[in-house]
Amino acid sequence: MMRRFPIVYGTLVAASAVGLAAALSQIFLVAPEERVMGAVQKIFYIHVPLAALTFVAVFVLLVGALGYLATRKAVWDHLAVASCEVGWLFCTLVLVTGPIWARPAWGVWWTWEAKITTTLVLWLLLAGIVIARGYASTQEQAARVGAVLGVVAALDVPIVYKAVDWWRGQHPIVFGPGRGDPLAPGMGRALGISFLAVTILFAALVVLRMRLAVLEESLAAAEDAAWSRS
């Protein structure tokens, strides 16, 4: 397993580098400038894929956590911790890119709208998991804490969304039934390529983080062995 890692992540890292370069050139050189919002609309091409992948990460976290609870195999925990931390990173980027766009578009940096608030709560939930794992004294304990909190957090996200939606509602809905294709042709291609690039980047980071988890585990095992010899 370890031996195949370099090929897998090497390919993914190379592919995400090419993909991101292609996406950036599409976004800034090819895609037409939006009529009303101008250059600031270009954040949309990065913001939307990041947001989508953040929620994919939560789903992968749920799968990893359930897999660990059911089988107690370390690989499921590696998947859970990787998607949790990469998801947290993407979530941070969503929360940074959003306000940069919102200020010129809506006139405010922040608003307590459903998607934004849910993303913020999700950020807090993921941060809680990362911090709680850090308190654990063994890898197994970290895995158990991560699995229990991961299941609760992942199930919480849709409920939080619905609750905040009832509480408040003002995100731009770009895609939806009966709206036709809202994007100019060049925009659709830029978004598609960006989506693909960010997805590959996500996969690359998750695989790298899983490899790190494997290395951490073998380091801990080697330390244990050294202690018991001395």
Question: Which residues here bind another protein, judged by CB under 8 A?
Answer: 69, 121, 124-125, 127-128, 131-132, 135-138, 140-141, 144-145, 147-149, 151-153, 155-156, 159-160, 162-164, 166-167
By beta-carbon proximity to another protein, the closer residue of 159 and 215 is 159
123, 92 contact by CB (below 8 A): yes
- Least Å from the CB of residue 87 to another protein: 15
By beta-carbon proximity to another protein, the closer residue of 128 and 172 is 128
By beta-carbon proximity to another protein, the closer residue of 34 and 156 is 156
DSSP per-residue string spanning 136-151: -SSHHHHHHHHHHHHH
By beta-carbon proximity to another protein, the closer residue of 73 and 103 is 73
In the chain, which residue ranges form alpha helices assigned H by DSSP?
Answer: 5-25, 43-71, 74-106, 114-135, 139-167, 185-229
Instruction: Give the CA dihedral 159, 134, 93, 77, nearest 10 degrees.
Output: -70
- Least Å from the CB of residue 153 to another protein: 7
- How many Cα atoms occupy the beta-carbon half-sphere of 11 within 13 Å? 4
| 85 Cβ contact partners less than 8 Å away, ≥ 6 residues apart | 130, 209
Quote the distance between the C-alpha of residue 201 and its chain's center.
10
- Least Å from the CB of residue 165 to another protein: 10
C-alpha distances in Å from residue 203, one per residue of 52, 53, 96, 112, 146: 13, 10, 21, 31, 20
By beta-carbon proximity to another protein, the closer residue of 28 and 112 is 112
- Least Å from the CB of residue 135 to another protein: 4
- Least Å from the CB of residue 146 to another protein: 10
For residue 44, give the nearest of 59, 28, 55 by alpha carbon. Answer: 28
- Least Å from the CB of residue 166 to another protein: 7
Give the largest CA-CA distance in the chain: 71
By beta-carbon proximity to another protein, the closer residue of 40 and 121 is 121
